[in-house]
C-alpha cells in the first residue's frame, strides 16, 4: 500500500474501498473481505445509508483503529452549521467510532449557498479533535476559492469524479497549486472505460486486467482512489496494482482518452436534498 501525505501531515492510503450503493445488509461482509485483502481505507457517507454496517465490520476486525482510515460525508439535506454538527453526531452513532479520519462536504449545492457555514462546522469538528482531517467533494474552482478566502483550514482533498474519460485538468492544476489532493470517485467510470480498446491493449501488454491498468494510471498521478466493488475477486484484483508500472507512453495513451464526459451529476446542477 502506498500512502499520500495530506497538507496537515496526516497519512492517507492511496487506495480505499468505496461503498456507494452497497446495501447496509451486505456492506459488513464486503468491508470485512476488503480488510482481509489488505484495504485500510473505507469511503462511506451519510447518504449511502450503510454507516451502521461499515461500523460493524470495523468493530469485528482485529485491525487496530489507528491503522484504519475512515471517511464519511455530510449530505446536502444537512448543510448549515448546526445541521452539519448534528449530521456528524448521527454518523458517529451509526459508525460507533470515537473519531473519523476524514469528513467531507458531499456536494457544494451552490444554489442553496450554505457550503461556507457547513465548512465552518467541519472546522469546529477538526479543532475539537473529532476528525483528523476535513475536505470537500464535487467542488469546482469557484467553490474552492470561496472556502480558501472565507475559511481558515485548507481542505486536505477534493473528492471528484475523475477517470480516463473525465480528466479535470484545470481543477487538478488549481488543487495542486493549493496543496489540495484529488481523490477520484468513479475511478473506473463505473466500468464504462474497461472495454476501451486502448485500455484493453495495455491490459494485454502488462498481463493485467483493464481495471488494474486504469487504477494504476490513477496511482501514478498521485491521486487517491476508492474503486467500489461487491465482488470478492474484483476487490482483490483492484488491490493488486502496486507490483507493476505504466511507462510514460502508456500514461500518455490513457491521457488521450479524455472526453470531458461525466457519468454523474455536474456539481453546479446537483440540487437534490
> Contact positions toward ligand NDP, by CB under 6 A?
18-20, 43, 106, 137-138, 159, 185-191, 194, 209, 211, 226-231, 234, 237-238, 264
What residues contact residue 208 under an 8 Å CB cut-off, 6+ apart? 216, 241, 244
Residue with smaller CB distance to ligand NDP, 127 or 204: 204
Nearest approach, Cβ of residue 106 and ligand NDP (Å) = 6
With beta carbons less than 8 A apart as the criterion, state whether 47 and 77 touch: no
The span from the CA of 189 to the CA of 193, in Å, is: 6
- The least distance separating ligand NDP from the CB of residue 154, rounded to whole angstroms, comes to 19
CA distance linking residue 70 with residue 103, whole number of Å: 9
C-alpha cell at 126: 477538526
**Minimum distance from residue 33 beta carbon to ligand NDP (Å):** 12
Q: Which residue number is nearest to ligand NDP in terms of Cβ?
A: 18
Buried b (16+ CB within 10 A) or exposed e, 3-16: ebebbeeeebbbbb
Nearer to ligand NDP, 70 or 97 (CB): 70
The CA distances from residue 233 to 79, 138, 175, 240, 243, in Å, are 38, 30, 34, 11, 18
> Cβ closer to ligand NDP: 14 or 186?
186
Residues that are catalytic: 48
CB nearer ligand NDP, residue 91 or residue 238: 238
State the minimum distance, in angstroms, from the CB of residue 231 to ligand NDP.
3
Residue entry with cell 449530505: 75
Amino acid at each position: 500500500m502506498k500512502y499520500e501525505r495530506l497538507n496537515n501531515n496526516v497519512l492517507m492510503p492511496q487506495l480505499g474501498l468505496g461503498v456507494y450503493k452497497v446495501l447496509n445488509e451486505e456492506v459488513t461482509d464486503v468491508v470485512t473481505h476488503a480488510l482481509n485483502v489488505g484495504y485500510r481505507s473505507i469511503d462511506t457517507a451519510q447518504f449511502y445509508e450503510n454507516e451502521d454496517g461499515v461500523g460493524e465490520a470495523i468493530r469485528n476486525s482485529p485491525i487496530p483503529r489507528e491503522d484504519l482510515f475512515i471517511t464519511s460525508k455530510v449530505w446536502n439535506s444537512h448543510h448549515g452549521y448546526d445541521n452539519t454538527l448534528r449530521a456528524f453526531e448521527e454518523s458517529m452513532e451509526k459508525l460507533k467510532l470515537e473519531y473519523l479520519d476524514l469528513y467531507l462536504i458531499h456536494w457544494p449545492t451552490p444554489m442553496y449557498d450554505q457550503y461556507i457555514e457547513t465548512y465552518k462546522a467541519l472546522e469546529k469538528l477538526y479543532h475539537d479533535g473529532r476528525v483528523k482531517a476535513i475536505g470537500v467533494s464535487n467542488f469546482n474552482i469557484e467553490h474552492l476559492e470561496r472556502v480558501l478566502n472565507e475559511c481558515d483550514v485548507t481542505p486536505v482533498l477534493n473528492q471528484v469524479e475523475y477517470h480516463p474519460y473525465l480528466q479535470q485538468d484545470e481543477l487538478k492544476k488549481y488543487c495542486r497549486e493549493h496543496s489540495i489532493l484529488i481523490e477520484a470517485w468513479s475511478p473506473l467510470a463505473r466500468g464504462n472505460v474497461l472495454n476501451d480498446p486502448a485500455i484493453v491493449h495495455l491490459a494485454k501488454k502488462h498481463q493485467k486486467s483493464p481495471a488494474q491498468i486504469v487504477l494504476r494510471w490513477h496511482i501514478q498521478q498521485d491521486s487517491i482512489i476508492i474503486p467500489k466493488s461487491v465482488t470478492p475477486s474484483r476487490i482483490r484484483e483492484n488491490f493488486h496494482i502496486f507490483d507493476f508500472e505504466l511507462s510514460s507512453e502508456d500514461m500518455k495513451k490513457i491521457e488521450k482518452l479524455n472526453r470531458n464526459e461525466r457519468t454523474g451529476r455536474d456539481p453546479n446542477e446537483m440540487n437534490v436534498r
